[in-house]
Amino acid sequence: MNDTFLKACRGERTDYTPVWFMRQAGRYLPEYQAVRGKVSFLELCKSPELCTEVTLQPIDIFGFDAAILFSDILIPMEAMGLALEFHEGRGPVFPDPVRDREAVDRLRVPEPEESMPFVLETIRLLRRELSVPLIGFSGAPFTLATYLIEGGSSKVFLETKKMMFRAPELYHALLEKITACTSAYLQAQARAGAQALQLFDSWAGVLAPQDFQRFALPYVRSIISDLRAMTDVPIIYFANNGSTLLPHTTTAGADVLGLDWRINIGDAIRQVGDHAVQGNLDPIALFLPRQELEKRIRRLLEDAKGARGHIFNLGHGIVPQTPPEQARIAVDAVHRFSGR
Ligand code: CP3
């Protein structure tokens, strides 16, 4: 078992810097496209055999140091009782957005083994196959709430912020339900065998710091504190576009803070005390010519030297247009340049 990733999460010394990429299983891989060509995205998410297959693809092809469970952050929202659709080219859609008290009251807090057995079964299957650690994940409550309230992806988050500012009690009631669902879901993943857990707060960066503190952070903290009571698996908190939120995200209780590329990793490390960090190459840097890409990677590794632990990653998900060969160049470069 290659446990370099887990050691880096815990701030222990490693022989080299471990690397994985957010969205490493996905459309940039012809091998993924081949599987996806036969089923819809939701069907894929609900088939443990196919999820296992696509989770393993990037590990086998590129030699990443960790695997991330193939699923989607919105799966538990469907389990709360909401219709969920994925539209080609448009992303996720909730045809019945959650915007009033009745809609919040209708939401269930699902029992994960009962309502999402396929996710937990995928984790069990993967643990038998993998020789690198398996990361489980969920969305963070604020990010999940934006999809429910907006009915899909958004640019200005008008409905979400309107609810926050004008109907804070309703907003908090919704967030409490999402938090209860997410907490139980991540606990179930840990029990099924996930060896680390990442909370994706993809939209945290659209909030003013004081709003982040009031409307997003308490729910993340509550989930992490529930997890601490039942497991010692490392917890990664990724607040995208969150460099100005670091004074707050450092209080979330996570072991590792995920960083997007908008901050120099060395500057971030000076702010995060004894947290390990994960990140933070601009995903579009993978389109650079080899020499320049390698130069950036070398520089990033250099800048991250003062970290309590560093897990190399992109600053957000790999984009579908990325030539797979570029992922290989990056993984090899991280391993080569960081070898001690
Ligand atoms: O490899 C991995 O990282 C594991 C799988 C994974 C997916 N989604 C698969 C996926 C993970 C960890 C996610 C998380 C996720 N999903 C997030 C948080 C991370 C982030 O990017 O900020 C968010 C916001 C979602 C919601 C979501 N799912 C959107 C907005 C979309 C459409 C946009 C897009 O990239 O197509 C999805 C669909 C989705 N999730 C795909 C994949 C591989 C593409 C679906 C397809 O095959 O057509």
Full set of structural domains in the chain with CATH = 4-337 (3.20.20.210)
Quote the ligand 1 centre to 253 CA distance (angstroms).
25
Closest ligand 1 atom number to CA of residue 32: 47
Q: What is the residue-level pLDDT of the chain in tens, covering all 340 positions? A: 999 999 999 999 999 999 999 999 999 999 999 999 999 999 999 999 999 999 999 999 999 999 999 999 999 999 999 999 999 888 999 999 999 999 999 999 999 999 999 999 999 999 999 999 999 999 999 999 999 999 999 999 999 999 999 999 999 999 999 999 999 999 999 999 999 999 999 999 999 999 999 999 999 999 999 999 999 999 999 999 999 999 999 999 999 999 999 999 999 999 998 999 999 999 999 999 999 999 999 999 999 999 999 999 999 999 999 999 999 999 999 999 999 7
Kindly report the CA angle at 269 between 264 and 274, in degrees rounded to 5? Answer: 165
Any atom of ligand 1 within 6 Å of the Cβ of 147: no
**Which residue has a Cα nearest atom 17 of ligand 1?**
73
| pLDDT reported for residue 89 | 83
C-beta 127 within 6 A of ligand 1 = no
Determine whether the shortest distance from the Cβ of 24 to ligand 1 is under 6 A. Answer: yes
Task: Determine if ligand 1 sits within 6 Å of the CB of residue 315.
Answer: no
Cβ neighbours of residue 270 under 8 Å, at least 6 residues apart? 306
Per-residue pLDDT, 90: 85
Residue 96: left (phi > 0), alpha (psi -120 to 50), or beta? beta
Q: Residue whose CA is closest, atom 40 of ligand 1?
A: 72
Two tokens, residue 236? 């990664």
Among residues 141, 206, 227, which one has the least CA distance to residue 177? 141
Q: What is the residue with the minimal CA distance to atom 23 of ligand 1?
A: 73
Q: What are phi and psi of 196, to 5 degrees?
A: -155, 160
Ligand 1 pocket check for 321: Cβ under 6 Å: no
Whole-number Å distance between alpha carbons of 331 and 19:
7
Looking at the DSSP assignment, which residues form a beta bridge with residue 137? Answer: 198
- Indicate which residues carry an active-site annotation: 23, 27, 36, 72, 147
Best mutation site among 19, 22, 23 for ligand 1 pocket (most ligand atoms within 8 Å of CB):
23
Instruction: Check if 331 has its Cβ closer than 6 Å to any atom of ligand 1.
Output: no
Residues 43-78: b if buried by 16+ CB within 10 A, e if exposed? ebbbbbebbbbbbbbbbeebebbbbbbbbbbbbbbb
